[in-house]
Amino acid sequence: MEKNSREILNRILFRFRKDKKIGFTIIVSFIMLAATTPLVLAATVDTVIITFNPDGDIDIDVNLSFYNFSSVFSGIWSNTTGGTFTLYNNGTIPMDTEIRTNASTDEGDMDLNESGVPPDMDEYAIFIAGLDFENYVNSSYTIEFDQGLNPSDSKTFDICLLLGNISTNHSWQTTTIYFRGSIS
Examine the pLDDT at 18 and tell me if it is beyond 60: no
Interval 37-71: pLDDT, tens: 555 566 788 889 888 777 678 899 999 999 999 99
User: In angstroms, rounded to a whole number, what is the distance separating the alpha carbons of residues 124 and 70?
Assistant: 15
Contact present, 160 and 116 (Cβ < 8 Å): no
Query: 155: pLDDT confidence band, cut at 50, 70 and 90?
Result: very high
Domains and CATH numbers, the chain: 2-36 (no CATH), 60-183 (2.60.40)
Share of the chain above pLDDT 70, in %: 77
Average pLDDT, the chain: 86
The pLDDT, as a whole number, for residue 92 is 94
Interval 83-115: pLDDT, tens: 999 999 999 999 999 999 999 999 999 999 999
User: Which secondary structure element, helix H or strand E, spans residue 144, and what is its range?
Assistant: strand 144-149
The pLDDT, as a whole number, for residue 16 is 56
Examine the pLDDT at 14 and tell me if it is beyond 80: no
Q: Which residue has the higher pLDDT, 16 or 139?
A: 139
Global confidence as pTM: 0.71
- What's the 3-state SS for 11-59? HHHHHHHHCHHHHHHHHHHHHHHHHHCCCCCCCCCCCCCCCCCCCCCCC
The pLDDT, as a whole number, for residue 165 is 94
